[in-house]
Amino acid sequence: MSETVTLITHQSPDFKVTIGERTVDLVNRFSNLNNEEKELLVGEAEKILSQCVNLINNLGSVTGIAVGYVQSGKTMSFTTLTALAIDNGFRIIIYLTGVKNNLLEQTTKRLKKDLLTESDNSRYFKVYQSPSIKENAHNDIKGALKLNRRPTVLITVLKHTKHINDLAEIFNDIEVRSALGNNGVLIIDDEADQASLNTYARKNSKSEDWEDDEISSTYSSILALKSTLNNHSYIQYTATPQANLLINIMDLLAPKFHVVLTPGKAYTGGKTFFKDNPDLILTIPDSEVYHHKKNQLRECPQSLIDAMQLFLMGTAIYVNINTSEKFLSMMIHADREKDASKQFYDWTSNILDNWSNILSLPDNDPSKIELLNDFNRNYPEAVRRIASPPNFESVIFEVSQILLDINLELVIQGGREIEWNNASAHVLIGADMLNRGFTIEGLSISYMPRYSVGKSNADTIQQRCRFFGYKSKYLDVCRVFLPNSSILEYGSYVEHEEIMRKMLVENPLEKIEQLLIISGDMNPTRSNVLSKNVVNYKLSGWRQLNALQNIKENTPLVQDFLSAHNFINGDDYGTTDRNHRYVKLNVDDAIEFLKNFKLMNVPDALRKSSTIHYLRYLSEKKLISHVYMIEMAFGVVRGRERALIKDGESLKIKNIFSGPSPSGENKYPGDRAIKFDDSLCIQIHKVKLRHPTPIWDQKVLYTLGIYYPEAFAHSFVGIGN
């Protein structure tokens, strides 16, 4: 019988959160949680919501991050956050659900089920999956916003440029904008580190500059969606926050607060498998580890046969004999190539069919005797952790029944939805489709013959951990088959994860970024901070920023900075527009200035973030102790005039740097010569724009030019080796 809990509201100075009917109704239906776990679930959702932008006629946005474990109940958390947001007046909640259709379908179905949107609570909700103007969804959403009964609009959308842009187009519609007004919108980004944030620096590191990057489309579409919403809060959910907290977060999606989610008491994660119960991990011999180039297996490996027999016997015991589970599942996570998944599927299908046929033969049949001996060889392992196990004969009889009621699925693009309760056993075979976000119900046996050519990224290997989750009730029949190299990688990552979570719990967010970079314990992600190519190409020589947005925030920031420091005049070149002054600033203060200087476009945001990390690296290695801040043309009150030009679909300042004047009494070497080579230099340029449209013409703003001395690029490469 489920427990009913009365929830207590904890007021916050940022947002006074009320726990209302929708939240209490939802949480009391979570029958698998006890009172303490329900209180904790709501308390953490309340902690997130209390730091969101107040929804009543406020303008602005805020980004936060919720960090959980893999398969630890993040969906339950953001469903609870949804109910809490509804209780506090949010009319629109948007879910960015992942990059694959199966995750979109999974999230939509889960929301509808948990919130009872199609039954008891149907009047309270309107649910739309990847809506578009083409399908007339803007009129439906506008109508829902105008209804007197004030239903909440729940929108699930694929994390794909087209789908997000379609949604942005809806919120750009005049009538939808009018109906929404300045009321708050909540955006929940599931698997947030996958929002094109974690691949920029690595994939594009050899391009000359971030303007040349080719994969900013998803991120840009998220910015486009955010720009249509006057008042919104953007909450990132992830179990792998490394990318979000390191270089690949662009500052527009950089979290301003964080909440560490606590898993339920029955959760079995990396510590359970790799520290507390290492006997659950079984080794796949190197000769049986598949790779489409290096080791194409010609026949089904013996370790897979052993894994299937353990799965069938464990399922026979827990589902048919003890009846403690309705079903159990097995995952075969093969090479990422689809042909490999198909090969493993064919092997598995043929073997299961063959076993079913053989077990139906008379007891004296030689093939049946041979198969029973094979199962009997694995029987001690199957029951090793089970107190008072059933005898082998009764287990084998139920195995024959399980084989008649088993569902085999090849999970690739376009796969069908799995009806979990429709079979006693499920075997799922696939690769990337079984990675992040995909929930395998009742998973007991995981077989992962992944051949790792090089060291994996920490966040990548963790997202393959579908075998984590709430498995304590049947943990004794769980087994994970891995190559020895993967076992070592996972063991190392578990240590990394626990250190990181402790760091997140004990430190404010502004300190975590630096701790993640400089901590010697964080080696699993250290190499991803900056690549040599990023330094060689993108952090070398002169680079200009185009700070065309956030002018109102940047102007007082720069003016306060200039007035707070004593600048030294540079060489006199005869005219106010050629005379400059500088100050030597310690690295931490320079970083603080950059962090507060706002940038709205992807390339500049990446440059700013990378520069901060590069400065920290150089400072940590004691290669620099200061940064030169140079105020250009400080005597030109209204700023130097610069043309604003079109660059593709956006605008940019043509060139902030004045060129050299080799003739005349005061020869001017040009703005690019105003630098020092013993450290990074940041030029502050006050610019008056020239443009044919009145919205931009004569507008005055501050922007930056940054000089990265070549010597430090070489130092970085030398130390990096």
Strand, coil or helix: what is 94? Answer: strand
- Shared domain check, 572 and 493: no
Contacts of 674 (CB under 8 A, 6+ apart): 570, 580, 630, 632, 683
DSSP strand pairing (231-238 vs 185-190): parallel
Cβ atoms within 10 A of the Cβ of 305, count? 16
Q: Using 50, 70 and 90 to split pLDDT, how confident is the model at 78?
A: very high
Task: Give Dmax over CA atoms of the chain in angstroms.
Answer: 110
Q: Please classify residue 479 by burial: count the beta carbons closer than 10 Å to its beta carbon, then call 0-12 exposed, 13-18 middle and 19+ buried.
A: buried
Confidence of residue 399 (pLDDT cuts 50, 70, 90): very high
What's the pLDDT score for residue 194? 65
Q: What is the mean pLDDT of residues 687-713?
A: 94
CA 16 – CA 709 distance, rounded (Å): 50
In a domain, 643, yes or no: yes
Per-residue pLDDT, 558: 97
β partners of residue 95: 156, 188
Contact 27, 18 (CB under 8 A): no
Instruction: Tell me the CATH number at 244.
Output: 3.40.50.300
Residues 356 and 250 in one domain: no
Domain membership of residue 506 (yes or no) is: no
The whole-angstrom separation of Cα 18 and Cα 8 is 9
Same domain for 430 and 536? no
Residues 453 and 310 placed together within one structural domain of the fold: yes
Judged by DSSP in three states, 559 sits in helix
In terms of phi and psi (left: phi > 0; alpha: psi -120 to 50; beta: otherwise), the region of 9 is: beta
- The yes-or-no verdict on residue 630 having pLDDT over 50 is yes
Residue ranges of E strands in 57-104: 60-67, 92-96
Strands 581-586 and 640-647: unpaired
Q: Which of 65-74, 145-154, 405-414, 488-497 has the highest mean pLDDT?
A: 145-154
Q: Which of the two residues, 644 and 511, has the higher pLDDT score?
A: 644
pLDDT score of 103 = 78
Task: Give the pLDDT of residue 213.
Answer: 57
Residue 15 included in any domain: no
Give the number of other CB atoms < 10 A from CB of residue 422: 10
**541 and 484 housed in the same domain:** no
The answer on 490 and 594 residing in a single domain is no
| Number of domain units in the chain | 3
Cα distances from 601 to residues 194, 224, 294, 421, 605, in angstroms, run 19, 11, 42, 48, 6
Prediction pTM value: 0.71
Among 216, 233, 260, identify where a domain stops.
260
Is 312 found in the same domain as 231? no
Tell me, yes or no, whether 208 and 307 share the same domain: no
Arithmetic mean of pLDDT, 213-217: 58
Instruction: Please give the residue range of the domain that contains residue 662.
Output: 532-720
Which region among 203-217, 385-399, 494-508, 626-640 has the lowest average model confidence (pLDDT)?
203-217
| Mean pLDDT confidence for 417-442 | 81
Shared domain for 32 and 68, answered yes or no, is yes
Sign of CA dihedral 502, 506, 508, 514: negative
pLDDT more than 90, % of the chain: 52
What is the band of 11 on the pLDDT scale with cuts at 50, 70, 90? very low
Residues near 709 by beta carbon (within 8 Å), at least 6 away in sequence = 677, 678, 679, 680
Give a yes or no: residue 357 inside a domain: yes
Please indicate, yes or no, if residue 560 is contained in any of the structural domains: yes
Residue 90 CA to residue 150 CA, distance in Å, equals: 10
pLDDT at 613: 80
Residue 545 domain flag: yes
Q: Distance (Å, rounded) from C-alpha 603 to C-alpha 117?
A: 41
Q: Is residue 414 part of a domain?
A: yes
Average pLDDT across the chain, whole number: 84
Task: Pick the last residue of a domain from 477, 499, 521.
Answer: 499
For residues 680 and 604, the model is more confident at: 680
Over range 6-21, report the average pLDDT.
63
pLDDT higher than 90, residue 522: no
Shared domain for 292 and 185, answered yes or no, is: no
Mind listing the pLDDT tens digit for each residue in 593-626?
A: 998 898 877 778 778 878 988 898 899 889 999 9
How large is the average pLDDT for residues 494-523? 66
Mean pLDDT value across residues 635-652 = 90
Q: Let me know if residue 310 belongs to a domain.
A: yes
The larger pLDDT score, comparing residue 183 to residue 452, is at 183
- Looking at the fold, whether 158 and 62 belong to one and the same domain comes out as yes
Residue 414 pLDDT greater than 70, yes or no: no
Same domain assignment for residues 194 and 321: no
Where in 105-209 does DSSP place strands (E)?
125-129, 152-157, 185-190
> Where does a domain end: 208, 233, 260?
260
Cα of 252 vs its chain's centroid, Å: 15
